[in-house]
Structure 1
Amino acid sequence: MDEQDTAAILHGDVLSDTAEEPQLDVNKEEPGVPSTDVVRPPVTCSLPVSVEPVLFLSMFSLALQAPLSTQYLWDRISEDLGYNGSKRSECGNSSAPPDPLQKEVETLTAHWNLYISLGGFSVGLLVVPLLGSWSDLAGRRRVLILPNLGLALQTIVYLVVMYLKLPVVYFLVGRLLSGLSGDFNAVLAGCFAYVADISDRRSRTFRVAILEACLGLSGMLASIIGGQWRRAQGYINPFWLVLATNLVSALYAFLFVRESVVPDPSAKLLTTRHHKAVWHLYSSGGSSSEAGGQFHRCKLWLYTLCFFLVVTVHFGSRELYVLYELSSPLCWGPDFIGYGSAAHHLGYLSSLAGIKIMQRCMEDSWVALVGLASNIVGLVVFSVANSTQLMFTGYGLCLLFMTSTPVLRSKLSKLVEPSEQGALFASVACVESLCYLVGSGVFNSLYPATLHFMKGFPFLLAAIILFIPAGIIGTLQCLEQRRDQRDATVS
């Protein structure tokens, strides 16, 4: 056994002796066997490493940058308009009329945030499927390196704007440049596709859950660091850390991450073939749908719908937590808001442990239903929370809320061939971006519109929406069990 085989076994993978062996059937249950051949380019390190650090570092930079850029927009627009006040966050009954200048600052900041988000989303909608499908042929490492370099370029533009006090429209320019390289969604697609490549069907859900936990932990760490650092040293120094983090993530992917597919040197990036591959995936169910027919394609669409609804609720409700806690009757200060954010992010770790435990005694679909039940009960408690104790009770009940999304990603991955993982997860990443836009827009509009009859109504609506994916997942699992029983009886 040579050094390459030893490193692969330590990594949890099995190497193929030749590239000419037939591809594995993803519909067969073969624990310990990866979906694709694993090769190591000559520039990579021999250590057994994976992509979790890439996703952690990329998410850290994004979570550190996003709130700081919004606060910078607020300060720059306030300076341009001559507004010297501060946005009030204290809880109290003030009879003073609202400051019209403050309202204008709030409106312009919200609009610029929307323009920047839409600019990145519209470009990424074209680029991310292209890169994801291309990675099925050219390899995953390139799709891990290129978007991080684009994010670093965006940060450089932001730093130039801050140093030279350029108009805030240049933030949009930086976002578009990042979108042309795939943005963070391409990193997501590459990391999840990589894990699908190197994991077998039995362990895939847990490996995906580890990546989800990386997202939560890095987001929590960045939230803690960013606010304190900005208060102490302003905006520029934290953005230098954002730049360094993106470059380190790209360097790590280049030096340490082994390739998970056999690269095709003749694979071209700028071709319509990649978008056609994504279209084929959802129009016909992909290459593996030949065995499952119409039911296979329906499952692909239904699980994607479930993912859309669940993630939209996650993003939408998360946008309201701080606003709900700041106002009466909770009237939380910064300390309690920090504790609440920590309790929310703790759900990523507890969900990871929950998946590991529950997989020993139940199918993945039932694990997802337990997670949805946890989320539903917690949201119902949030909708009526009028005390600190009740609010933290809701956070406690939501400790398994992140078990559903890893299961859905894993189920989608198992529905397609190894050669289609990149196209699939690129599509899922685009859906996730759409979830953020829809969730943020709907729930932020719904909250002020329902204050007069029920302050927590958006949380209650979110809980009701989650019954839809719960019903779909439960129904599909029952149908699959009946079909398996019928096939076993016939055989």
Structure 2
Amino acid sequence: MEESDTAAILPADVLNSTSEAEEADAPTTAGSCDPLPRFSWPRLPPVSVEPVLFLSMFSLALQAPLSTQYLWDRLSEDLGYNGSKRSECTNGSVPPDPLQKEVETLTAHWNLYISLAGLSVGLLVVPLLGSWSDLAGRRPVLILPNLGLALQALVYLIVMYLKLPVVYFLLGRMLSGLSGDFNAILAGCFAYVADTSDRRSRTFRVAVLEACLGLSGMLASIIGGQWRRAQGYINPFWLALATNLASALYAYLFVRESVLPDPSAKLLTPRHHKAVWRLYSSGGRSSEDGGGFHRYKLWFYTLSFFLVVMVHSGCRELYVLYELSSPLCWGPALIGYGSAAQHLAYLSSLLGLKIMQRCLEDSWVALVGLASNITGLVVFSVADTIQLMFTGYGLCFLFMAVTPVLRSKLSKLVDPSEQGALFASVACVESLCFLVGSGVFNSLYPATLHFMKGFSFLFAAIILIMPAGIIGTLQCLDQRRAPRESTVS
């Protein structure tokens, strides 16, 4: 095993024991410890976690819009509503069908109940798995949640085959939540990147992971919409099941461990939650140089991350519902294209971030991304035609440049030995984002249909002004403190 390959798999605290000058270049090895068995196949670049995240996201993006459409169809069937004969889709002067509003409301509420079933359980499990991975290794946190997601897809398939009541969807989500759900996979992947990257390249490495989310989501959305129209719901869910199993198998066979596993590490212990609490109560070991301001930055960046991801997750569940109903009345193909356009922004955000980093600090890049998101949401709030809806998707072409910047800033605020606790807390916050976002927006949407159909998107745009103010203020304070610190030193 060559020196570059060994550096890619050594623990983060070993990598960061080198000098700052060495850290600016590629990571180098320290010591002769090689905790992993040597592989016998030909020389290859170090295998990372991008394929795991790609496959897991493909399964999630394939299921999410199809689940909403399935709920719509099943509830329409139960209520006797035939959506194919809606005259209001072609004639704006016809008042909306009361049954359509009832189907919309019930679908939004069932989306909320199903999300709560999984995310409330995951909120307790994800921080345990994330902090445990700092001791037991990252690979278990990449394998177990994928198996849970596969089990969820299997439950959904049983419901569809047997035409069981949609309440059984709750069981599938709870089983997935007990294994950590998709948020645990995110925590494991981002912690893995923090283990194997230096501070200078970390923002872009995180953005590459998020671009994998977008690319897989785009492909899944196109395939899912066309496949559902051609063959129904069951076959796409079989693919989702197979994809999660493939992701777990890939992580087991090919992903090299980035930390030295401790076989005695226990999962069910309060130690993991305490590690997260100590990080935010004291600011971590790195706060010794930054004082209280360092701890405040950790809290404020976490708050910004919470608000941004809450808006993203809450609005994502409304897009399909907004497009299914009048005046848009989109079919499966258009819904697939719309979801693909949304996920294409992950790639355009990666390209934009790489270009803007040449002349802008990361904080200003994040503000540009927030401006892109806000303008797109404002257009969504008044969109009543296909052209306006896709204009909104186009304006959001940089909206995913925000979260990689925030993840990177949080990662740089803590010591290398605290990355596990940090990403456990970020995973916990992300679970809370999905929980709160789903609750707020799935409740707000039916409550505001009578006076403004797109009010939820306008409300989301207003919320995003808050993290923009926080990020801008912290960047200005950092710029003012830098000359003082250099003078003192």
Q: Same fold (TM over 0.5)?
A: yes
* Aligned AA (2:411): S
The separation in 2 between residues aligned to 1:396 and 1:235, in whole angstroms, is 29
Q: In the alignment, what sits opposite 1:357?
A: 355
Q: 1:41 aligns with which of 33, 36, 39?
A: 36
Q: Which residue of the partner structure matches residue 30 of structure 1?
A: 23
Structure 2 counterpart of 1:158, one-letter code = Y
Give 1:459 shift: 3.5
The answer to whether the aligner puts 1:267 opposite 2:265 as a matched pair is yes
3-state DSSP of counterpart to 2:24: coil
* Residue of structure 1 in register with 2:159 after alignment: 161
- Residue in 2 aligned with 1:85? 82
Equivalent-residue separation in structure 1 for 2:206 and 2:15 (angstroms): 26
Contact 1:129–1:426 (CA under 8 A) maintained in structure 2: yes
Report the secondary structure of 1:30's partner residue.
helix
- Report the CA distance between 1:260 and its aligned residue: 0.8
Summarize the Cα distance change of 1:90–1:437 in structure 2 as closer, same or farther, 3 Å threshold. Answer: farther
Q: State which drifts further: 61-70 or 296-305.
A: 61-70
What code does the residue aligned with 2:245 have?
Answer: L
> Structure 1 26/408 Cα, relative in aligned 2: closer, same or farther at 3 Å?
farther
Is the 1:198–1:260 Cα contact (8 Å) retained in structure 2? yes
Does the alignment pair 1:379 with 2:372? no
Q: Where do residues 56-135 of structure 1 align in structure 2 (5 Å cutoff)?
A: 56-77=54-75, 81=78, 83=80, 85-86=82-83, 88=86, 90-93=89-92, 95=94, 98=97, 100=99, 107-135=105-133
Deviates more, 1:223-232 or 1:437-446: 437-446
The number of residues matched between the two structures is: 482
CA contact (8 A) 2:128 2:267 kept: yes
**Partners of 1:434 and 1:36 in 2: how far apart?**
38
Percent of aligned pairs with the same amino acid: 79
Are the counterparts in 2 of residues 185 and 426 from structure 1 also a CA contact under 8 Å? no
Structure 1 residue 336 displacement after superposition:
5.5
Q: Conserved in 2, the CA contact under 8 Å of 1:26 and 1:416?
A: no
Segment of structure 1 superposing worse, 229-238 or 404-413: 229-238
Q: RMSD across aligned C-alpha pairs, in angstroms? A: 3.3
Within 5 Å, which residues of 2 pair with 1:162-311?
A: 162-311=160-309
Alpha-carbon distance in structure 2 between the residues aligned to 1:14 and 1:412: 22
Matches of 2:206 and 2:324 in 1, distance apart?
A: 34
Q: What are structure 2's unaligned runs of at least 5 residues? A: none
Give the Cα separation in 2 of the matches to 1:486 and 1:431: 34
For 2:119 and 2:223, locate their aligned partners in 1 and report how far apart those are by CA, in whole Å: 27
Q: 1:6 to 1:206 in 2, by over 3 A?
A: closer
| 224-233 or 21-30: bigger deviation | 21-30
In 2: Cα distance, 1:27 partner to 1:280 partner:
27
- Give the AA of the match of 2:273: H
Matched-pair contact (CA < 8 Å) for 1:63–1:219: yes
Task: For residue 416 of structure 1, give the secondary structure of its aligned residue in structure 2.
Answer: coil
Return the TM-score normalized by structure 2: 0.87
Amino acid at match of 1:488: S
Q: 1:479 to 1:72 in 2, by over 3 A?
A: same
**How far did residue 58 of structure 1 move?**
0.5
Helix, strand or coil: the match of 2:89?
Answer: coil
Normalising by structure 1, we get a TM-score of 0.86
Cα deviations by residue, 1:427-473 (Å, 9 ceiling, x for unpaired): 22232233233334434444555566655544343333222111111
Q: Which deviates more, 385-394 or 366-375?
A: 385-394
Residue 487 of structure 1: aligned partner: 485
Q: Is the 8 A contact 1:29 1:201 kept in 2?
A: no
| More divergent stretch after superposition (448-457 vs 152-161) | 448-457
Distance 1:420-1:91 versus aligned 2 partners, 3 A rule: farther
Shift of 1:411: 0.5
1:484 aligned counterpart, secondary structure: helix
Query: 1:474 and 1:250 mapped to 2: Cα distance?
Result: 40
The amino acid of 1:410's aligned partner reads S
